[in-house]
Amino acid sequence: MSAVLEIQGLEKTYRSRRRGVRKALDGFDMVVEAGQVHGFLGPNGSGKTTTLRTVLGLIKPHGGRMTILGREVPASLPEVAGQVGAIVESPQFFPHFSARDTLSLLADAGGVDRIRVGEVLELVGLRDRAKDRVKTYSLGMKQRLAVASALLKNPRLLILDEPANGLDPGGIREMRSLMADLAASGMTVVLSSHILGEIQLICDSVTIISRGRRVAHGSVADVLASNSSSTIRVRLEAVSDLPAAAQLITGVGAHVSVENDHLLVSGLDRPAFVTRVLAERGYWVSELAPMAADLEDVFLQLTGTAPVEGAHRQVDQSVAVGAPAAGRWGQ
């Protein structure tokens, strides 16, 4: 496998009179392999947009290295730009133009054959509405038009910053299936989001960013495995046996906590061992279930920020895990 996008030690500090000095990227690393849908996840303010804008040459970093398709950027951006499609700010379209007119205009401007307009309309599922004016479109349709515009030049790498922002659940579902189609066609896709549920389902791999640093990366399965403790829930036929059972399990070296009607057991290599230890003493296990850690738990644990909409802290933004939140910038 080869990396389509590689970032090493990226640094960016914003200085503004009003907001002072702010370290947005603090030695950030990221690797995206070819053919993947890569989730770029982090709370609001963690540095996602700054990273993507830097990669695209829209802002200048203060340190670090970046390559796209093996070429150093920003120096080689002119050579690779034709292979990168991106939507970083939400694009504005003429409301009185149809999707087809809009894309034809963009195709002409970019030297793209107009045949491609029909293809991308088909790809993003806008073919049937292609002649309607953009002002009659839902937000989801406008997003799809934006994606269509980024697809015109048939890029090898597609970068979308928060593509699901503001979409309703139906729109998000459509966006997800579109991304899956694009990945199936061999394109590499990078999607950023501060809301996990939106994109977790379609990502092959993820990078989690917090306060300008990478805090986890790899396949979704690996990130889960290396960041979740393997806790199992144990129920017994008789709730009154729980304290005695807890003692037995503690005796073989596990960590046990007694909950209302079950035990939580961690620190065992082979969870099934619990069954044997208890059965030998006549305690019958009625349930032995791994506690499903999902990406949301990991995200929360690593960034100190709830990853679901409505529940997230308006942080600027992630807090230091295991450290006081105060004074976290620039010290």
Ligand X SMILES: Nc1ncnc2c1ncn2[C@@H]1O[C@H](COP(=O)(O)OP(=O)(O)O)[C@@H](O)[C@H]1O
Q: Read off the tokens for 273.
A: 């061992």
Partner in contact with 297, chosen from ligand X, Mg ion, none, beta carbon below 5 to 8 Å by kind: none
Please state the closest distance from residue 249 (CB atom) to ligand X, in A.
Answer: 43
Residue at token pair 């000095």: 21
C-alpha span between 47 and 44 (Å, rounded):
8
For residues 30 to 69, the per-residue mask of contacts with Mg ion, x marking binding by CB under 5 A and - elsewhere, is ------------------xx--------------------
303 lies in the binding site for ligand X (CB under 6 A)? no
Binding residue for ligand X, selected from 4, 5, 7, 24, defined by CB under 6 A: 24
Task: Give the relative orientation of helices 169-184 and 115-123 as an angle to the nearest 10 degrees.
Answer: 120
Rg (CA), the chain: 24
Residue at token pair 């990366």: 217
C-alpha span between 174 and 233 (Å, rounded):
36
45 lies in the binding site for ligand X (CB under 6 A)? yes
19 lies in the binding site for ligand X (CB under 6 A)? yes
Nearer to Mg ion, 119 or 316 (CB): 316
C-alpha span between 87 and 191 (Å, rounded):
10
Partner in contact with 97, chosen from ligand X, Mg ion, none, beta carbon below 5 to 8 Å by kind: none
Residue at token pair 């503690």: 250
C-alpha span between 283 and 275 (Å, rounded):
9
Please state the closest distance from residue 203 (CB atom) to Mg ion, in A.
Answer: 17
Degrees (nearest 5) of the Cα angle 207, 209, 211? 170
210 lies in the binding site for Mg ion (CB under 5 A)? no
Partner in contact with 22, chosen from Mg ion, ligand X, none, beta carbon below 5 to 8 Å by kind: ligand X
Binding residue for ligand X, selected from 28, 30, 38, 49, defined by CB under 6 A: 49
307 lies in the binding site for ligand X (CB under 6 A)? no
46 lies in the binding site for ligand X (CB under 6 A)? yes
Handedness of CA 60, 63, 67, 68 (dihedral sign): negative
Give the interface with ligand X as residue ranges (CB under 6 A): 14, 16, 19, 22, 24, 42, 44-50, 316
Give the interface with Mg ion as residue ranges (CB under 5 A): 48-49
